[in-house]
Amino acid sequence: MASSFVGRRPQLQLLQAIRYDTPEAHLTAIYGRRRIGKTRLVKEAYKNADLLHFEGLEGVGSREQKRHFLKTLSRHSGKQAHQLASMADWEDLLVLLAEYVAERPCVIFFDEFQWMAAERSDLIGKLKYVWDNYFKEAGHVHLILCGSVSSFLVKKVIRSRALYGRIDNIIHLGPLEFADARTGFFANRSVLEALEYYLVFGGVPKYLEMYAANRSVRLNISNLCFKPGAYFLEEFERLFASHFGKVHHYRSVVEFLAGRAFASREEIAKHTGLHSGGRISGFLENLVLAGFIESYGSIHSPRATRLKRYRIADPYLRFYFRFICPLVGRIARAQEGVPLPQALPEKRYGIFLGLAFESFCSQHAHSIAKTLGFSAVAYECGSWFKRRGVSAGAQIDLLYKRADNVITLCEIKHRSKVTKEVIAEVEAKVEAMGVRNSVTIEKVLISALPPGKELYDAAYFVRILTAEDFATQRTVDPH
């Protein structure tokens, strides 16, 4: 378990560059799923600053939120009068805070803001008024609105008309990149062990902190997933209850996608019984914002709605539905849990890791561009697939269309032995693409393990990347 703060250097630099001791006032919005490290990021960025931390309470109403706000304000100010103030209106409470900090340069941190607002929009309008008439007038304050229910932060805060043009910075905090995870949590393990844990649980800091360094990755997975009372047995239920309450349609969508590689919106709508219109669009958007699923289309037809696909994006959710969920009852009944060879049959687990590695590479696409040396060139990246014609079903998981008239095609393999047969597979995909001769196609192999010497000697691929390359490369986008 890493005790020191890991990664997030671009985000830290962005936050620390915002001066709160100047005449200007600044407003920042931060969102990202639970356990992703939003609170830790803010506290790390302002560990030497005057930070006033207010936190919303999950599952309670507006009156209790206001009571907790005043109690926190009283603790910060040391004034009993603050705790005894009237709780009638958010505007009065925010004015009370603004008056307290009027002559005090500080950072005000509204954590789990969606719960503070009781997931309603009322607080947003009151905040807009107090921001314009008090905080901005006084200056020297940095207000941070942070939340784990991304749909609320994006739709009700960032896109709200009330705060339009007032938010200076928006940070969507995603998983730690593999390079940071490897350095911070797996320094004494091989890169392949670190990669395996990352493919199963992703880059969620809370999940990485649970890794026991004195055990192998497989033993960690066994203890965390397949023993009675194991943390990841109930994590899915905790996540969904926090993000979506009791709305069963969200779970229905995720369970449907968990049983297949991908699905169209029409297929999801038919399965869930939702009309393929506004309702299904809202559910899918909220799941995407939460980071649980992702949508993608063919890179050559990115706006073609009929080609858009949805798939599970969160590594833990993929693993949960594939291996944990079917065994929940059995694990609870077994005193010693389910033995790992039974919980993770080698063949099924190997297929899972292969698909997870493809998703991993897509999510690290910008790191790959940097490693390959063309990140300074404008490019689009994504999947390519064909649904009609002779080559229907052909798919390339990661493709870059570059502004320098080059296409970089990435063939992704996780299996332990990659032979020269992969060349014929790539050639078939190139033919299916039907790219005209005026465009150069560069082929890249991404393999978890270094392939055999014969593949290097063939000089077919312009570059062969392995897990070691991911362990040392980081992107620089703070958002």
Residues 318-376 pLDDT 10s: 999 999 999 999 998 988 899 999 999 999 999 999 999 999 999 899 999 999 999 99
CA atoms within 13 A on the CB side of 396: 29
Q: Within the chain, which residues score under 50 in pLDDT?
A: 390, 476, 478
* pLDDT for residue 54: 97
Output the six-digit token pair for 11. Answer: 């985000």
Task: Return the CATH number of the domain spanning residue range 364-470.
Answer: 3.40.1350.10
What is the per-residue pLDDT for 299?
Answer: 81
Q: What single-letter DSSP state applies at residue 323? A: I
- Name, in order, each residue with C-beta under 8 angstroms of 430's C-beta and a sequence gap of 6 or more: 409, 441, 443
Closest CA to 374 of 412, 405, 413: 405
The predicted-structure confidence for 284-324, as pLDDT tens digits, reads as follows 999 999 999 999 887 866 555 566 889 999 999 999 999 99
Query: In this predicted model, what pLDDT tens digit does every residue of 217-238 receive, in sequence order?
Result: 999 999 999 999 999 999 999 9
* Type and span of the H or E element at 169: strand 169-172
Helix or strand (DSSP H, E) at 67: helix 62-77
Instruction: Indicate the CATH number for domain 9-172.
Output: 3.40.50.300
Distance CA 66, CA 32 (A): 24
CB count, 10 Å around CB of 76? Answer: 18
The pLDDT, as a whole number, for residue 302 is 53
- CATH class of the domain comprising 179-359: mainly alpha
- DSSP helix/strand/coil, 389: coil
Q: Which are the contacts of 27, defined by CB distance < 8 A and separation ≥ 6?
A: 131, 142, 143, 145, 163, 166, 167, 168
Give the global pTM.
Answer: 0.90
Q: What are phi and psi of 284, to 5 degrees?
A: -65, -40
Domain with CATH 3.40.50.300 in the chain: 9-172
List every span in the chain annotated with CATH 3.40.1350.10. 364-470
In the chain, where does the domain assigned CATH 1.10.10.10 lie? 179-359
Task: Report CA 261 to chain centroid distance, whole Å.
Answer: 19
| Burial of 227: CB neighbours in 10 Å, binned 0-12, 13-18, 19+ | middle
